[in-house]
Structure 1
Amino acid sequence: MNRRRTKAAAAGALLGLTLAGCSLGGVQSIPLPGGADLGGHPYTVRAQFADVLDLVPQAAVRVNDVAVGRVSSIRLADDGWSALVTMKVNGKVRLPANAYAHLEQSSLLGEKYVQLSAPPAGEPARGRLAGGSLIPTSHTNRNPEVEEVFGALSLLLNGGGIQQLKTVSVELNKALTGNEPQVRDMLTQVDTLVGDLDSHKQDITDALDGVNELSATLAARDQKIGTVLTGLSPGLKVLDQQRGSLVTMLRALDTLSGVAVDTVNRSKDDMVADLQALAPTLQRLADSGKDLPDSLQVLLTYPFTDEVLSGVKGDYLNVYLDLTAVPGTQLVPILESKDNSYDSTAQPQDGTPRSKKPKQQKQPRNQGGLPMTLPLPLPSVTTTSGGR
């Protein structure tokens, strides 16, 4: 009877476990005995790994090798290249916001677990790791797998380098012996180059992003580029047909350049002599200073200033002007005086012989019968003794 009750209880327990497993989403959702104590108020932390290997849900989450939580789920991240691990951590655990997550193994063939740690000594801690925080890929890493170590060791032992170590060592000794300063200088330059590349990594990244954008733009305009290349083909055919003429032209240009260079070399002495002969003239022009531009101001100016007299000593300066009156202008004739006319009949009262008065010259008249006016008088100037 007791055995029957025990079997019934075991069956009931198994059925309850099965129903519980169906309602909670599988066996993986059932907490394992002996796991980490999450306390009454655990918080959720997410970490993005480039590779989680064979990490499974319910794996331990440790801090300083002390279990403080467990992995609740593992899924593909939104970028499609990394894994997103969701963990539940005891609420009493305090970590900075820039904490690191490492995927480690408990032993050589043991289980995988996630190790949470504070940032290294060179990086200051910031803030606090709270619920819903995400540890980025730059703060996650993993240890090498045993299979990877054995594979590298197998490659090394099976003709991958052991047999050649002696040869490599001997050749390195031959190459480095006596060249230590040069090798040290080369290593220094390599270190400087690597440092410069590291300091300009943002610029290099920006350049690569620009090349990526250019490639995307070219890919979006591939039809237009194809049309342009198709339109260039007739021109390329013409250039190919006229290749002989182009080659001949370039050869003629080469010959012409040779002749030009030879001509310049031959006439170099004469050119230098001409420039040297021109130097005194240029020096006199430079010595004239402001006198030359001042003289040009009065060269074509009427009436001329007194400065012109110094340039026309001993000669006359005549100016002929043709003036055209504005239509409608009234010309006033010159009045003639009767006192200046010649009188041949007038006889003096005292019996003295009469004197002939010079008869006034007849005023010239134009075709209309009006007297012609004389030209305007020149301005009065005082001539020097050398003038005429």
Structure 2
Amino acid sequence: MTGTIRPLVKLLVFAAVTLLLTALLAQTLGAFPAGGVNYRARFTDVTGLLPGDDVRIAGVRVGRVADIRVVDDTVAEVEFTLTEDVPLATGVRAAIRYRNLVGQRYLALTEGPGERRPLRPDGLIPIGQTTPALDLTVLFNGFRPLFTALRPEDVNKLAYEIIQVLQGEGGTVSSLLSRTASLTNTLADRDAVIGRVVTNLNTVLTTLATRDRDLDRTITQLQEFVSGLAADRTAIGEALVNLGDLTEATSSLVGEARPPLAADIRALDELAGTLNRNSAVIDSTLGRLPQRYESLTRVASYGSWFNFYLCDFDGRVSAAGQTLNPVTFSAPAARCATGGSR
């Protein structure tokens, strides 16, 4: 049992410490504690200021805005609460300032000239001693040409520095002008590059201007060509259709002729092999053909037939296994003489 109670006690102690620290943190970051002294301040413009926003002196949070209302039809009255240990004098000045670029604002109190008489509770700070917030729209519109040439992170940094300088929270006008001058030099360098691009473009346009007649002629001829195609679009369309039909018919014809063509190619391959193997016989035959053609020409010179004469004949006759005497015949005609046709 003891082994179970000890971890439980540790868990309870840890939870109690955590809750205490969380409460302290919530009290520090949360709403301003109740109580304190109420004061009022009148402004010509309190756009962006909301109930619950901070009231600060020298950057230290000393109170909060309690209420905002309109008085005298055109004046905004801000009611705020300060801790009791922060007294205000009648010459105090109030200004609405930006906490960040998101738009959050706070009420800043500063010591002003004049008597040091304390301001009574629920006392009023008149319009002459208050300053409304900067109009960021008007301010940033003046810097728009500069912002358009910068990266977003540079725009945010420069804008925040501008607000701080103009609200008197940090930096000086000299430092702001120094940074602005640096950015302006960067833009000037870019402007030089743009100037060179424009100069080069001017050279290109000058070259085109010297060739304007050739360019005009080319454009005119192209326009005529396109117009001719447009005028013959019907004939061109029909020709394309007919070409498609021809292609389809040709493809079917080639498909039908492919098997016989393949067989013929194989037969030609065999024929070529046979001729190559008998090249000697073919050469000998071709060499004797002129003489044979000459003899045939003499034989066929009498008409469209061939005349043959039997000049010599010899042979043997075998019968019943016996060979008879050879038979010989020789014609005495002159044409059978040596050198005649046979």
TM-score relative to the length of structure 2:
0.33
Higher helix share: 2
- Name which one, 1 or 2, has greater alpha-carbon Rg: 2
